[in-house]
């Protein structure tokens, strides 16, 4: 058959191809692999492909189908097993080879996806377009089976953080690790212990748990407070399914927002210029810690493009997203140590940086936010809303702001609208309501910003309640 994607329902979201697990048949996985490697070979010769996967029940078969397709093209496959996405990306970049990560990240277990990496990092939007345009014959596939697993990528990722955070800086700290079904749960535990922490594993699950770091449910909030109290924790750490988004709670069991974690990490690392999505907290600019802040559309390809733009003008460049994933765009040096750039979302760098920073200052984790501007964000999403319906609603409102105010029950008039990604409305009292369709699932996301956590949460609750009736 001819490799073409017009009749496949799996398609690119904000980070890789996504769809129902049943849509990622052997044929679909092989076609994505063939198209990706065809585009890569147009840039330079390719002889090896790195593959990793998360713990979803559908992931091993998908990895096997991708392996079969690469082998049919005469390309050697290096299978690094279940591991965090940034660990796979780090290994692939070190080996100058492209990579495929089989993961649906945080979306429900009945869905899955494939993330694509060039030898120098994540693919761009232009690469996505090129991949979807490939039309070549799909060669006969051999056995649908995976290559033997290697532990090399996990060991490289472990060494990265042991060598950067020297001297066991977390000695004496009790760190809870909410393991659930995270791809990097054993690796995270090993890193925490290597840095001197007393790490307490919690909440392991052999069933896939779709942890969304941007929409933390009340159950997870209550669980964090209970675990922190019961185990007398200094911090509680978890990640999403593939380990590229952190979720970090302080000594009181309160989860820190991902963009605040990113802000504090960037400040602690001495970053000069940041690229961040439009949905991130405005405290990033207001804190005055950065020479330049460039706002982008939501999704790591857009943040990466922003980082590339900044790299020509600034020495220490990074980016992060509202979900907490941190992208390091420049090599960093400190006291003879070097941290190599890793321009893809990473969960451990920001989480470890904050825990180590607090420990070195003799402060509780909660104290790190003490000098930040008083701006608070909240977010959640409305599930099972077709993307077309969400877009139609936002298009109608951008031409009729009074209707948006009325239908969402906004108490203040809208004074400013940002259409960079979705519809981001600033109200007369400075509060912000931002709506956008998810790029990964049929969901309508709502972000709110206000001067207190309760007010931001109340805004999200009110808006989503109104949206549920409208959609």
Residue 5 has pLDDT above 60, yes or no: no
In this predicted model, what pLDDT tens digit does every residue of 157-210 receive, in sequence order? 999 999 999 999 999 999 999 999 999 999 999 999 999 999 999 999 999 888
Does the pLDDT at position 214 exceed 90? no
Evaluate if residue 69 carries a pLDDT over 50.
Answer: yes
d(CA 198, CA 195): 9
Three-class DSSP category at 110: coil
Q: Can you tell me which residue has the tokens 């936002």?
A: 394
Binned at pLDDT 50, 70 and 90, residue 466 comes out as very high
Taking Cα atoms as reference points, which of 452, 406, 455, 414 lies closest to residue 434? 414
**CATH code 3.30.310.50 region(s) in the chain:** 376-470
How high is the pLDDT of residue 442?
A: 87
**Residues facing 417 on adjacent strands:** 425
Task: Please determine, for residue 14, whether its predicted confidence score (pLDDT) is greater than 70.
Answer: no
Residue 8 pLDDT grade (very low, low, confident, very high; cuts 50, 70, 90): low
Name, in order, each residue with C-beta under 8 angstroms of 374's C-beta and a sequence gap of 6 or more: 451, 452
Mean predicted confidence (pLDDT) in 214-219: 84
Closest CA to 295 of 322, 332, 270, 269: 322
Cα 354 from chain centre: 18
Q: According to the model, what pLDDT value does residue 155 have?
A: 98
User: HSE on the CB side for 245, CA within 13 Å?
Assistant: 25
Residue 420: CA count within 13 A, CB half-sphere: 18
Average pLDDT score, the chain:
94
CATH 3.30.310.50 fits 376-470, yes or no: yes
What pLDDT is stored for residue 261 in this prediction?
A: 97
**Is the dihedral angle over the CA atoms 354, 355, 359, 363 positive or is it negative?**
positive
For residue 80, CA distances in Å to 28, 76, 83, 146, 307 come to 22, 13, 7, 10, 28
The whole-number pLDDT of residue 256 equals: 95
Of all residues in the chain, the percent with pLDDT exceeding 70 is 97
Instruction: Identify the pLDDT of residue 136.
Output: 82
pLDDT of residue 40: 97
Tell me yes or no: is domain 155-369 CATH 3.40.120.10. yes
pLDDT of residue 187: 97
Residue 209 CA to residue 423 CA, distance in Å, equals 30
Q: Tell me whether strands 48-53 and 76-82 are parallel, antiparallel or unpaired.
A: parallel
pLDDT beyond 60 at 255: yes
Cβ-proximal residues to 325 (8 Å cutoff; 6+ apart), any chain? 244, 245, 246, 258, 300, 345, 346, 347
List where CATH 3.40.120.10 sits in the chain. 2-150, 155-369
The number of residues making up the chain comes to: 471
Give the Cα separation of 249 and 283 in Å (integer). Answer: 19
Of the candidates 33, 51, 36, 55, the residue with the CA atom closest to the CA atom of residue 88: 51
Q: Are 76 and 124 in contact (CB under 8 A)?
A: no
pLDDT at residue 138 tops 90:
no
DSSP letter at 16 equals S
> Which are the contacts of 222, defined by CB distance < 8 A and separation ≥ 6?
none
156 phi and psi angles, rounded to 5 deg: -65, -40
Question: Which residues are the active-site residues?
Answer: 105
**Which pLDDT tens digit goes with each residue over 386-412?**
999 999 999 999 999 999 999 999 989
Name the strand (E) or helix (H) holding 317. Answer: strand 317-320
Confidence (pLDDT) at 1: 43
pLDDT tops 80 at residue 3: no
Annotate 197-215 with DSSP letters as a single string: -EEEEEEE-SS-----TTS
Mean pLDDT score, 60-66: 98
Residue 229: exposed, middle, or buried by beta-carbon count in 10 A (0-12, 13-18, 19+)? exposed
**Burial profile 109-119: b = 16 or more Cβ within 10 angstroms, e = fewer:** bebbbbbbbbb
Mean pLDDT to the nearest integer, 31-56? 96
Distance CA 345, CA 99 (A): 15
Distance CA 134, CA 136 (A): 6
Separation between Cα atoms, residue 348 and residue 325, nearest integer Å: 9
pLDDT at 137: 87
What is the fold, at CATH topology level, of the domain defined by 2-150?
Answer: Alpha-D-Glucose-1,6-Bisphosphate; Chain A, domain 3 (3.40.120)
């Amino acid at each position: 058959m001819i490799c073409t994607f017009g009749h496949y329902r799996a398609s690119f979201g904000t980070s890789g191809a996504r769809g129902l697990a049943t849509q990622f048949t052997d044929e679909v996985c092989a076609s994505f692999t063939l198209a990706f490697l065809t585009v890569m070979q147009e840039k330079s010769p390719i002889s090896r492909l790195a593959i990793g996967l998360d713990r979803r029940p559908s992931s091993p078969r998908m990895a096997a189908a991708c392996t079969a397709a690469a082998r049919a093209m005469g390309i050697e496959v290096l299978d690094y097993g279940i591991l965090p996405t940034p660990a796979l990306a780090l290994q692939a970049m070190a080996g100058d080879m492209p990579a495929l990560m089989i993961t649906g990240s945080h979306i429900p277990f009945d869905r899955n996806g494939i993330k694509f990496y060039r030898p120098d990092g994540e693919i761009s939007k232009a690469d996505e377009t090129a991949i979807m345009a490939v039309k070549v014959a799909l060669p006969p596939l051999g056995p649908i089976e995976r290559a033997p697993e290697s532990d090399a990528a996990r060991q490289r990722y472990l060494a990265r953080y042991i060598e950067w955070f020297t001297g066991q800086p977390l000695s004496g700290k009790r760190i809870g690790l909410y393991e659930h079904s995270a791809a990097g749960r054993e690796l995270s535990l090993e890193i925490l212990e290597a840095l001197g922490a007393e790490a307490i594993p919690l909440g392991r699950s052999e069933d896939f748990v779709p942890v969304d770091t941007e929409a933390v449910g009340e159950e997870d909030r209550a669980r964090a407070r209970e675990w922190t109290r019961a185990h007398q924790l200094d911090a509680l750490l978890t990640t999403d399914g593939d380990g590229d988004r952190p979720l970090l709670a302080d000594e009181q069991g309160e989860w820190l927002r991902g963009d605040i974690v990113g802000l504090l990490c960037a400040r602690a690392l001495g970053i000069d210029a940041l690229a961040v999505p439009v949905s991130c907290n405005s405290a990033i600019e207001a804190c005055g810690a950065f020479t330049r802040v460039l706002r982008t559309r939501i999704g790591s390809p857009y943040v990466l493009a922003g980082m590339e733009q900044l790299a020509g003008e600034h020495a220490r460049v990074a980016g992060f997203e509202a979900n907490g994933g941190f992208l390091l765009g420049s090599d960093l040096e400190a006291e003879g140590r070097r941290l190599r750039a890793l321009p893809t979302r990473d969960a451990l760098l920001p989480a470890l940086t904050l825990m180590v920073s607090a420990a070195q200052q003799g402060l509780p984790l909660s104290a790190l936010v003490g000098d930040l501007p008083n701006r608070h964000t909240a977010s959640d999403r409305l599930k099972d809303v077709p993307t077309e319906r969400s877009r139609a609603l936002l298009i109608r409102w951008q031409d009729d702001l009074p209707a948006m105010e009325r239908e969402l029950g906004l108490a203040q008039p809208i004074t400013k609208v940002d259409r960079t990604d979705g519809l981001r409305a600033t109200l007369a009292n400075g509060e912000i309501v931002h709506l956008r369709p998810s790029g990964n699932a049929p969901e309508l996301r709502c972000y709110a910003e206000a001067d207190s956590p309760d007010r931001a949460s109340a805004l999200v609750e009110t808006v989503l309640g109104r949206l549920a009736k409208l959609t």
